[in-house]
Structure 1
Amino acid sequence: MSQPVDLGNDMTLIDLFDLGMPERTGSYIIHSEELTIVETSASPSVPYLLEGLKDLGVDPKDVKHIIVTHIHLDHAGGAGLFLEHCPNAKVYVHPKGKRHLADPTKLIAGARAVYGDQFDELFDPIVPVPEDRLVAKEDGDTLDIGDRVLTFYDSPGHAKHHFSIYDSLSNGIFTGDTIGVYYPQAEGLNFVLPSTSPNQFDPDAMLNSLKKIENLNVDQIYFGHYGRSRDPKHVYEQIRFWLPRFVEVGEQVFKEKSEASFEEKTVAVTEGLSHIVTTHLVEQNVPSNHKVYKYLNLDLEVCAMGIVDFLTKKQKV
């Protein structure tokens, strides 16, 4: 268990140890008049969230708003379980995700298809959120929580059920996975890669969402994975650099292995992504045995699945 991190502007980051790994996912606690939490991670992370709140002297009964950027289980899977500890809170979700939090049957089936036998260990239990405690926020909607106003922006690309939340007090934005994953393990690099996981990855939509966020001229970005960047310009540059290269790796595999199975293509794309990312990091003096690769290897395999899924669908159009 690590100590909550003070981010200034009455905001704290609690490490939720997704997959048992530090600095993998986190919850942002906004200490406003109306206590607000952004992201819950998966259900196995809820004990870390409760312990972090205890360290901060926060009673879950005082939580008023729980916001999930999107409904992927590593961001929202624990929302229902956590809500059981927060009798006075409502859960805020993208309109396209609302029904899936109320009835997570399809979410569970989709995750089982991706994670197989690991599902229970990673995500169980997934507790439905009562419909009367769910609030959908449309593009441009706001939520006044006292000393600041939160504004919700539809931001597809990683998923169609994704919004990003602008915070007026810190001039920052919670971006979930829309403009990538931040790797604090790569110390000093401010290193970000796109998150292209299945099954709604759309590179054009991702770049459009990036542009929408860029136009807000924020000072800081709060990532779902993991932590804060105070150099938004560098984040945008990295996504624009890596995203077409990720897709190019997939296109090359489809060209060379057109008759291969989905699984075989995924293996090949994973290898291709790993090669270009490792080569880049070694050039930046990050050795190939560095701890960051433990995180990258997990993410790049899921990214590869999303790229293969995207290109397979594209072929059928």
Structure 2
Amino acid sequence: MPPLLRSIADGVIRIDLQFHGRPQVIAAYLLYDGREAALVETGPTSTMEKLLEGVQAAGVPLEALRHLIVTHIHLDHAGASGALIQRLPWARVYVHPVGAPHLVDPSRLLASAARIYGDLLKPLWGEVIPVPADRLAVVSDGERLTVAGHTLIAFDTPGHARHHHAFLDETTGLLFTGDIAGVRLPGIRYVRPPTPPPELDLEAWSNSIARLRALKASGLCLTHFDVHREDIEWHWEDLERRLWEWGHQIREMMAENLEEAEMVKRLRERADEELRAAGADPEFYDVAVSYESVVAGYLRYWRKRAAATASGMRG
């Protein structure tokens, strides 16, 4: 099997999308039963050719690829949806109800992303093409999708974003986690919480973790990156601990009236030291989720909380 592919279960192959030539940043998961195929995650348009190369290298004809399932609509997970529908007009995109309107009309999604990436938006992620409404399938919490010989159950899992699903494969026990299980490189015992603005919600994230832990999945299939099987309970604990620790650290720095750039610098220094102690190269984690986006997400979260508290007191 070519290096960008890895068989992780019967009928399930992980494809490394080689984001801008970097391995182990973005994964898509291919399901195939010999007749039809499905993808969990499309990745961004900038990696679409690598995705389709991987599908065909796995021995799957493109005509068999009929189901494009996205965990949420952020560009690294669903950005290629519209371009893929142009290439595969027989396929459908499966998406959370909150995310569906933004795939049909991505203008607000792109405006939000532009505030984070600026002029790098298109070079990083490629062109974002609308998905025709009649090619969308809106998926509800608890819904079962029978695709490519597998049955996937959708779990509404806010915290990282309001439009987020995780999918449990009843056939294999694998859980496709999107971003709700964080960012972790293969072989490394360290989970980074991806907390970009504007929809970070720490309480909702903890509730989502509790819901998914109760499923007792056989493996966590992360978009960033790969499948993790041996230490699933530790993984959830490490993620939730760091999610809240970083949140409290940012809140303390806000109380010191530090500039945002200084917050990023301090978080980077602390976290990179942890990463090196875990045997990881901090640069690889930065490609998947930057400290700038992490800090921006926490700042928005705490400011929204403060505004809501002030409004309640006035009421």
Q: TM-score, normalised by structure 1?
A: 0.91
Structure 2 counterpart of 1:16: 17
Aligned position for 1:177 = 179
Offset at 1:25?
0.4
Please name the residue that 2:290 is paired with: 299
Cα distance, 1:129 vs structure 2 = 0.5
Residues in 2 aligned to 1:291 and 1:238: alpha-carbon distance in whole angstroms: 18
Query: Aligned with 1:315: secondary structure?
Result: helix
Q: Percent identity?
A: 32
Residue 223 of structure 2 corresponds to 224
Q: How does 1:1-317 map to 2 (within 5 A)?
A: 2-32=3-33, 33-145=35-147, 147-184=149-186, 188-230=187-229, 231-257=231-257, 264-265=259-260, 267-284=261-278, 286=279, 291-296=281-286, 298-317=289-308
Report how many residues are paired. Answer: 304
> Does the 8 A contact of 1:26 with 1:41 survive in 2?
yes
Q: How far apart, CA to CA, are the structure 1 residues paired with 2:248 and 2:224?
A: 24
What is the CA deviation profile of residues 87-138 of structure 1, one whole-angstrom value per residue up to 9, with x for unaligned ones? 2211000000001001111111111111001112012311111100101111
Aligned-partner residue type, residue 69 of structure 1? T
**CA distance in 1: counterparts of 2:227 and 2:90, whole angstroms:** 28
| Aligned residue type for 1:31 | Y
SS of residue matched to 1:192: coil
Given that residues 38 and 148 in structure 2 are in contact (C-alpha distance below 8 angstroms), is that contact kept between their aligned partners in structure 1?
no
C-alpha spacing 1:314/1:20, structure 2 compared with 1 (3 Å): farther
User: Displacement of 1:217 after TM fit?
Assistant: 0.9
Amino acid at match of 2:300: D
2:312 alignment counterpart:
none
Q: Retained in 2: the 8 A contact 1:249–1:272?
A: no
Q: For residue 125 of structure 1, give the secondary structure of its aligned residue in structure 2.
A: coil
Q: Distance in 2 between matches of 1:283 and 1:126?
A: 38
Q: CA offsets, 1:14-41, max 9 Å, x none? A: 1112243211101100113431101011
Give the aligned CA root-mean-square deviation in angstroms: 1.7
- Return the alpha-carbon distance in structure 2 between the equivalents of residues 294 and 63 of structure 1: 31
Report how far residue 146 of structure 1 moved.
Answer: 5.3
Shift of 1:72: 0.5
Q: Which moves more between the two structures, 166-175 or 299-308?
A: 299-308
After TM superposition, the runs of 4+ consecutive aligned structure 1 residues lying more than 6 A away are none
Residue 182 of structure 1: SS of its match in structure 2?
A: coil
Once the two structures are TM-superposed, the CA of residue 179 in structure 1 deviates from its matched residue by 1.9
Counterpart CA distance in 2 for 1:22 and 1:8 is 21
TM-score (norm 2): 0.92
Alpha-carbon distance between aligned partners in 1 of 2:89 and 2:64, rounded to the nearest angstrom:
9
CA distance in 2, matches of 1:174, 1:270: 30
SS in 2 for 1:309: helix
TM-aligned CA deviation for residue 246 of structure 1? 0.8
Conserved? CA contact 2:37–2:60, under 8 Å: no
Q: d(CA) in 1 for partners of 2:282 and 2:172? A: 29
